Amino acid sequence: MRGQGRMPHRGQNDTHRREKSGPQGAHRRPGVRHRPPCCHHGGGSGRVTGGRRCSSRSRTTVARGVRRGRVVIMRLLILGGTEFAGRAVTEAALARGWDVTVFHRGRHPAPKGAAVLLGDRLGDLDALAGGEWDAVVDTWSGAPSAVRRTARLLAGRVGRYVYISSCSVYVWPQPAGYDETAPLVDSSPDAVDVPYAEAKRGGELAVLDAFGEEHSLLVRSGLILGPWENIGRLPWWLGRIARGGDVLAPGPRENALQYIDVRDLAEWTLDAVAAGRSGPYNLVSEPGHTTMGELLDACVTVTGSTARLRWTEAETILAAGVEPWTDLPVWIPPTQEAYGALHAVNVDRFYGDGAAVPAGRGHGA
């Protein structure tokens, strides 16, 4: 469903698990979209342009790259690169003509065109013992000690370390409108078995320890939706709606949402690498860029389903024992404490003056 809408300028008015993840796990793996991401159901995607600009407040250095004519080809190492966010970054970098190397366990094929190094973040890192890159992108969500190992191993041979973190690193709960200066959870770069929020914060600390603030980019993503999602939020809605019949639609219909399409996250990350950006960024759409109603309407459209959305008041759903976010992905009633932390994040730095924001998408994943 490409072309469903375009992200407005600021002057005008972007995988669900069945277990109870808890508030600090809410962004597990966490569009800059005017409407919900273009639903992906066995194919298709959507894009809308963004006109706002990223902050110039971060310290920047020009990445080296290799110049081929008028084009600078960046040498990019991606730790992972075959699923969800990692795959989106890999595909976007290859589309730019960048020199891409993927380090992974080999469980899934890497996108065509990427060089492959095989190894294990928790074990064999021998394949990373040599080589130089302009930047590395790391999406790791497990033990911070694994990030520390790779960061220390790559220090001195990689120009910039990009860590895909999460807004979950902020102390829970945060009020609506919190920004990158909000209090952070306590963690350690040496931690092994810790909850998601502490794992992501520990990963950040590991990167900062090895690369310093000037050469570290911390991408604190909000809720991420999009192709290759391996968490099950958008796929859950697509699958349920595709089956047809009456579908419980959690109200209010106009409930404002905030998320980022994984492809927008990838494009912005690559732009930030090329610009030599550093520091933390809350990476997610503007609050209220779309609604629960628009998201589910898009799912009906893209699946071609005859499903009937039965909008139901939040109070009725909660009284039946249904859990927001875990039982009904993406949805959180605006009256709940978690709503401000998940759907009302301040993104002024992301959209501030500086480099152009990449194209966003209309409806989908």
Report the helix count and the strand count for the chain, using DSSP H and E: 9, 15
Is-cis flag, bond preceding 329, omega within 30?
no
In this predicted structure, what is the pLDDT of residue 325?
Answer: 96
Nearest by Cα to 130 from 121, 120, 117, 139:
117
124-154 pLDDT per residue, tens: 999 999 999 999 999 999 999 999 999 999 9
Q: The pTM is what?
A: 0.81
CA–CA–CA angle 37, 40, 42 (5° rounding) = 175
Architecture of the domain defined by 59-225+264-286+346-351 = 3-Layer(aba) Sandwich (3.40)
d(CA 125, CA 248): 47
In this predicted structure, what is the pLDDT of residue 352?
Answer: 85
CB within 8 Å of 68: residues ≥ 6 apart:
none
Segments making up each domain of the chain, as ranges: 59-225+264-286+346-351
Residues above pLDDT 90, as percent of the chain: 75
> Are 112 and 98 contacting, i.e. CB atoms less than 8 angstroms apart?
no
Q: What is the dihedral of CA 72, 74, 75, 80, to 10 degrees?
A: -150
> Are 346 and 177 contacting, i.e. CB atoms less than 8 angstroms apart?
yes
In this predicted structure, what is the pLDDT of residue 67?
Answer: 65
What one-letter code names the amino acid at 163? Y
Q: How many CA atoms lie within 13 A of 46 on its CB side?
A: 31
Share in percent of the chain as helix, strand, coil (round to 5): 30, 20, 50
19-75 pLDDT per residue, tens: 333 333 333 333 333 334 444 333 333 332 233 333 333 333 435 777 666 667 999
Q: What is the pLDDT along the chain (365 residues), one digit of tens a residue?
A: 333 332 323 333 333 333 333 333 333 333 333 334 444 333 333 332 233 333 333 333 435 777 666 667 999 999 999 999 999 999 999 999 999 999 999 999 999 999 999 999 999 999 999 999 999 999 999 999 999 999 999 999 999 999 999 999 999 989 999 999 999 999 999 999 999 999 999 999 999 999 999 999 999 999 999 999 989 999 999 999 999 999 999 999 999 999 999 999 999 999 999 999 999 999 999 999 999 999 999 999 999 999 999 999 999 999 999 999 999 999 999 999 999 999 999 999 999 833 344 444 543 43
